[in-house]
Amino acid sequence: MSGLEVKLRASLEAAADCSALLAGAWSGLPAADLARRPVGLAGRGAVSLGELCEVTGDATGSVRFVGDWRRATRLGAGLTEGAVVIEGDIGDDVGMGMAGGSIEVRGSAGGRAGAAAPEARRGA
């Protein structure tokens, strides 16, 4: 797979809210811009993705996450574009409220994978 690669430098020590990483338009971002996107770490607040990961590759509309992401939540929440591959395990709420794009998990996913967003309405 060509595209961007996001590889954890070390295992996540605390819960990490990754909902902002792939929010909105991301598929055309160069690696350096994706590395500046925020991750909410429990006990520390917002840190840049680049503090936690090595982000490499070219913007082709695809991204591959490598490592143990079990403590990461909401990765790909609200996804609207692009192809995401997660090589390993991922925490809760991966792909919650997706409207487009694709996510492939090559490992285990936590609870509520691909679930509707909490504010989603049922019926008419």
Average pLDDT over residues 87-116: 95
| Average pLDDT rounded to a whole number, residues 54-76 | 97
What count of other Cβ atoms lies within 10 Å of the Cβ of residue 71? 19
Q: What is the total count of domains within the chain?
A: 1
Per-residue pLDDT, 2: 84
Residue 79 belongs to a domain: yes
pTM of the model: 0.92
Domain that holds residue 26: 4-105
87 falls within a domain: yes
Q: What mean pLDDT is reported for the chain? A: 94
Is the pLDDT assigned to residue 124 strictly greater than 80?
no
Of all residues in the chain, the percent with pLDDT exceeding 90 is: 89
What's the pLDDT at 67? Answer: 95
> Is 124 a domain residue?
no
Confidence of residue 123 (pLDDT cuts 50, 70, 90): low
- For 14, 51, 103, 110, 119, the CA distances from 31, given in Å and listed in that order, are 24, 13, 19, 27, 32
Say yes or no to pLDDT of 118 above 90: no
At 17 the pLDDT is: 98
Question: Taking residues 19-25, what's their average pLDDT?
Answer: 94
Residue 60 lies in a domain: yes
> Which one-letter amino acid corresponds to residue 5?
E
In a domain, residue 83? The reply is yes
